[in-house]
Chain A
Amino acid sequence: MALLEVDDLVVQFYTENGVVRAVDGISYEIRAGETLGLVGESGAGKSVASLALLRLIDSPGEVVGGEIRFRGRDILELSADEMRGLRGDEIAMVFQDAGAALNPVYTVGEQISEAIRTHEAVTDETARDRAIALLERVGISDPAARYSDYPHEFSGGMQQRAVIAMGLSCDPALLVCDEPTTDLDVTVQAGILELLADLARESETAIQLVTHDLGVVAEICDRVLVQYAGEIVERAPVEELYYDPKHPYTVGLLASIPRLGDGRGRLTTIPGTTPDLVDPPTGCRFHPRCPYAEDVCARRRPPLVETESGSPDDGDPDTHAAACLEYTGDLEDGLDYEVQVRDESDESTESNEPDERRLGGNDGAERTRERDPTGDPR
């Protein structure tokens, strides 16, 4: 049994413009100790899906359907007290803006001890010692002295480390990280990712990493979910997603990553913006922006299917699944893009991330169906 199973989760927000289905029937699972990436543009419902795991969706939002089973228990059915026992103790969350996630009126150490004291009957002394140990574990030097610093005395990266320490205070089975590195500059970001990767390796903590940065996903995730307009459009082990993306949206995302040494003057983009979820497009939600869209895409909503067989997805997390009519055999012309993997260095390819990817098909002038990885690293 997986640690966490999300089954057909639907979250709605009631706004003045109408009902927004921020999360529309997503299903996935996380196994103990694994790191799952959840990627998508702003407004794809990633954060909402994460908050729903802790039942922190407040009015005007509401979970209207589906199940979230944590160790077999449906979180949505728990009483408020049981839910509180679960939060922080079993499932913890790391927020995007660490500066805002720390209360300015208490010292950093005090806030970590509070998290410990909430769930365990420990003396203040013990809580303090454990908080200091946690600060050390997340890589803050001189933790005993830093314990009594206020959040504003920490740098951005250290604040994020402190927030991660808060999340880890009770050794949760699942750590939900909502864009933990978005506000940080690249070097600090690398440090935080390394920390998360270490944690995932050393402990049995599973991590759900929400991000819009595919580079981050490549560094630490085992599997990836791609979310678009409240739906999951592709699910794959991380390597497969990068070498062999199946959904046109994923292709577009990968193509729009800037690369060093790229001769082109402009970045590739996905035309248009994320759809208005009050009135989502008919059929496939990506079809207005999809360069391969055909008439059928506007009519038929593609189910999530296994790309190998074309059979409906049975939720097996190791398979590669995508929600595109191509894989149900409904597209006439198919998807015309090529994946080029370029590796300029011959150093060890332990990293899952190919150094270069080029995805054609964004010009749309000539559609040639070919797949020609040039210079595959292996």
Chain B
Amino acid sequence: MAGLGVIVVMAVLAVFARPIEVSTAEVTITLQPFSLAPYDPSAMFVGPANAPPSRAHPFGTDWAGRDQLSRVLVGGRYTLGIGLVAVALALCVGVPLGAIAGYFGGWIDEAIMRLVDVLYAFPFLVLAIAIVPILEPIPVLGGGFWTVVLALAVTGWIGYARLLRGEVLSVREREYVTAARALGVPDRTVIRRHVVPNAVAPVVVQATLNVGTVVLTAAALGFLGLGLEPGSAEWGAMLSQGRSSLVQGRWHITVFPGLAIFLFVLAINLVGDGINDALDPHRDVSDERRRLR
């Protein structure tokens, strides 16, 4: 619950950090007029460079005199956005593939699972690092945001596919699945309505916990200078740029984005644990029994 609270607060802060505007040629529609961040995150020299935290700049300023507080707040948009969108995309790929592999078996299963095995052979981060430069030249993807999201989705779906396949293998042997087939329900409906809803619980838990991992990986990619363009207010990129300042003893430039990442990942993990407990009543029951004994 505390975790959920933290995430909601961070999401609200990120959304309301700067006004969101949709502009066409003539008109600009403001979707969200609030501006919690005191300064434009990319405006330089709003204060002295490398200033420590003060009343005017609570988180201090970085080497270009940009306001750190504003940058951390707006950076939440990138980080939270990457985390949620990448996991959602990965689920959209992993859940259908895993369900199909598990339900039909045979060569379909072999093909999908061997692909998963191949992708699993690469370390997660290394694969993402390899994919980012491949995706970067594709013009449709626009800025670095979508490149990072896609790279993380491509590396992320394999876990869900494998997990769901294992669950489906056991669920498809249940009698209600046979009963549905005996009623002439088409396979795709059987999968969608009977198999997946009964098999998806562990995947949901895994996906929630993975949002944290994905955010960390996005930060790592940003730290390595991949994906988002340098200077953008992404937490990982901010850490990376703060590295040189850290050597000079200016702690505030890295501490605040670092804390933000830490807090978010911790919150996600708390939420994941909560969902796990909520979706897995068996464990509670056995715990209860053990306590009574």
Residues of chain A at the chain B interface (Cβ within 8 Å): 54, 56, 59, 84-89, 92-93, 95-97, 100-106, 114-115, 118-119, 163, 166-167, 169
Cβ–Cβ < 8 Å partners of B197 in chain A = 105
A selection of 8 A-B contacts at a CB cut-off of 8 Å is A84-B184, A84-B186, A102-B179, A104-B198, A105-B198, A115-B185, A118-B186, A163-B179
Pick from B176, B184, B186, B193: contact of A100, CB below 8 A.
Answer: B176
- Whether B180 lies near A103 (C-beta < 8 A) is yes
B5: Cβ under 8 A from any A Cβ: no
Q: Is B130 an interface residue (CB 8 A)?
A: no
Interchain nearest-CB distance for A208 vs B (Å)? 13
Interface residue ranges of B168-218 to A (CB < 8 Å): 174-176, 178-186, 189, 193-194, 197-198
Residue of B nearest to A54 (CB): B182
Q: Is B231 an interface residue (CB 8 A)?
A: no
Tell whether, in the assembled complex, residue A92 and residue B176 are in contact, meaning their CB atoms are under 8 Å apart. no
**B143 interfacial by beta-carbon distance below 8 Å:** no
Interface residue ranges of B137-190 to A (CB < 8 Å)? 174-176, 178-186, 189
Known: A101-B175, A102-B179, A167-B183. 4 other contacts (CB 8 A): A84-B186, A104-B176, A114-B193, A118-B184
Nearest Cβ on chain B to A305's Cβ, whole angstroms: 35
CB–CB B176/A103 < 8 A:
yes
B105 at the interface (CB under 8 A from A): yes
User: Across the interface, do A56 and B181 meet the contact criterion of CB distance under 8 Å?
Assistant: yes
Asked if B182 and A119 make an inter-chain contact with CB atoms under 8 angstroms apart, the answer reads no
- Shortest CB-to-CB span from B200 to chain A, Å, is 10
Residues of A within 8 A of B175 (CB): 95-97, 100-101
Complex Cα distance A115/B184, Å? 8
Complex CA–CA separation, A104 to B194 (angstroms): 9
- The residue that B183 contacts in the complex, of A96, A105, A169, with Cβ under 8 A, is A169
A88 B198 Cβ-Cβ under 8 A: no
The complex places the Cα of A85 from the Cα of B186 at a distance, in Å, of 9
Range of interface residues on B (Cβ < 8 Å):
10 to 19
**Residue pair B181, A86 in contact (C-beta under 8 Å):** no
Chain A residues with Cβ under 8 A from B186's Cβ?
84, 118
B170 to chain A, nearest CB (A): 13
Say whether chain B's binding surface is mostly helix, strand, loop, or mixed.
helix
A98 CA / B113 CA spacing, docked (Å):
34
Known interface pairs A93-B179, A97-B175, A114-B193; A103-B184 also in contact (CB < 8 Å): no
Q: Point out the residues of chain A lying under 8 angstroms from B180, CB to CB.
A: 103, 114
B174: chain A residues within 8 A (beta carbon): 100
- Inter-chain CA distance A119–B185, complex, in Å, is 8
A114 to B179, alpha carbons, bound, how many Å? 12
Closest to B172 in A: A58
What's the least CB distance linking A282 to chain B, in Å? 35
Chain B residues in 8 Å Cβ range of A105:
197-198
A118 to B190: give the CA distance in the assembly, Å. 11
**Knowing A87-B184, A104-B198, A119-B184 touch, does A59 contact B105 (C-beta < 8 A)?**
yes
What residue of chain A has the Cβ atom nearest to residue B194's Cβ?
Answer: A103
Can you list the 10 inter-chain pairs with the closest CB atoms, starting with the nearest?
A87-B184, A88-B183, A88-B184, A100-B175, A93-B182, A101-B179, A103-B176, A101-B175, A115-B183, A84-B184
With both chains docked as a complex, state the minimum distance between the C-beta of A374 and any C-beta of chain B, in angstroms: 45
Contact A118 B183 (CB under 8 A): yes
Which chain A positions have C-beta within 8 A of B178? 56, 95, 101
Residues on A with C-beta less than 8 A from B198 are 103-105
- In the assembled complex, which residues on chain A have CB atoms less than 8 Å from the CB atom of B185? 84, 88, 114-115, 118
The interface residues of chain B lying within 8 Å CB-to-CB of A118 are: 183-186, 189
Interface pair A101/B183, CB less than 8 Å apart: no
Cα A89 to Cα B182 with chains together (Å): 10
Closest residue of chain B to A85 (Cβ to Cβ) is B184
Neighbouring B residues of A119 by C-beta, 8 Å:
184
Cα A56 to Cα B185 with chains together (Å)? 13
Contact A56 B193 (CB under 8 A): no
Chain A nearest CB from B96 CB (Å) reads 19
B179 is contacted by which of A84, A85, A104, A166 (Cβ under 8 Å)? Answer: A166
How close is B203's CB to chain A, nearest CB, in angstroms? Answer: 15
Query: What's the Cα separation between A56 and B183 when bound, in Å?
Result: 11
Which of A85, A104, A169 has most chain B Cβ within 10 Å?
A: A104
Question: Which of B175, B178, B179 has the largest count of A CB atoms less than 10 A from its CB?
Answer: B179
Determine how close the nearest CB of chain A comes to the CB of B196; give it in whole angstroms. Answer: 10
- Distance between Cα atoms of A97 and B178 in the complex (Å): 12
- Contact partner of A95 (CB less than 8 A), chosen from B106, B179, B184, is B179
Question: Which residue of chain A is the closest to B173 with respect to CB atoms?
Answer: A58
